[in-house]
Amino acid sequence: MMQRAALVVAALLPFAAQAAVTATDAWVRGTVPAQKTTGAFLTLTSSSEAKLVAVSTPAAKSAQIHASQESGGIMHMHALDAIALPAGKKVELRPGGNHIMLFDLTRALGAGDQVPLTLTIEEAGGKRHVVEVRAEVRPLGR
Ligand SMILES: [Cu+2]
């Protein structure tokens, strides 16, 4: 059975109304040796208006926020500057939709591995903080 990995550590200021961002159901698609890219997916909910502006992980040299778009029966992806997180609304990053793309993986990712993701969240006022998430690797083909 798949475990839902969701560990959220947000730097909290006791007096500031910082957007609290919850990440659930975080997972990364497993890879075969020699495979250099994969996708990461999760569901984000922010307590106030914010956006996801960057992602990093020690498992890959770089990570981008991507959108998927179908045209002429072919799925295309392109990079996004940010994904909006409207207050109190679940925002799902999933295969075929918006997702996180990991490039130049530092190692193959097998089912059950854990991949730390650092999400940079920008609040409506421009302030940024990070949310640490642990994503579970799910087998290829899911
Ligand atoms: Cu992509």
Q: Encode pLDDT of 76-118 as tens digits.
A: 999 999 999 999 999 999 999 999 999 999 999 999 999 999 9
| Residue 68 Cα to ligand 1 middle (Å) | 7
Concatenated DSSP letters of 112-135: T-EEEEEEEEEETTS-EEEEEEEE
Residue 112 near residue 135 (C-beta atoms within 8 A): no
* Residue 12 clears pLDDT 60, i.e. is over it: no
Q: Which residue did the predictor score with more confidence, 2 or 71?
A: 71
Average pLDDT, the chain: 89
Bridge partners, 69 (sequence order): 76
* Residue 11 clears pLDDT 70, i.e. is over it: no
pLDDT confidence of residue 9: 46
Report residues near ion ligand 1: CB below 5 Å. Answer: 66, 77, 101
| Residue 37 Cα to ligand 1 middle (Å) | 9
Residue 106 near residue 37 (C-beta atoms within 8 A): no
Please give the share of the chain, as a percent, with pLDDT higher than 70: 87
How many angstroms separate the CA atoms of 136 and 126, rounded?
30
Q: What is the mean pLDDT of residues 6-24?
A: 65
Q: What is the mean pLDDT of residues 11-27?
A: 76
Q: What is the mean pLDDT of residues 128-140?
A: 94
Residue 63 near residue 100 (C-beta atoms within 8 A): yes
Residue 142 near residue 77 (C-beta atoms within 8 A): no
Q: How many CB atoms sit inside 10 A of residue 88's CB? A: 10
pLDDT confidence of residue 6: 45
pLDDT confidence of residue 110: 94
pTM attached to this predicted model: 0.84
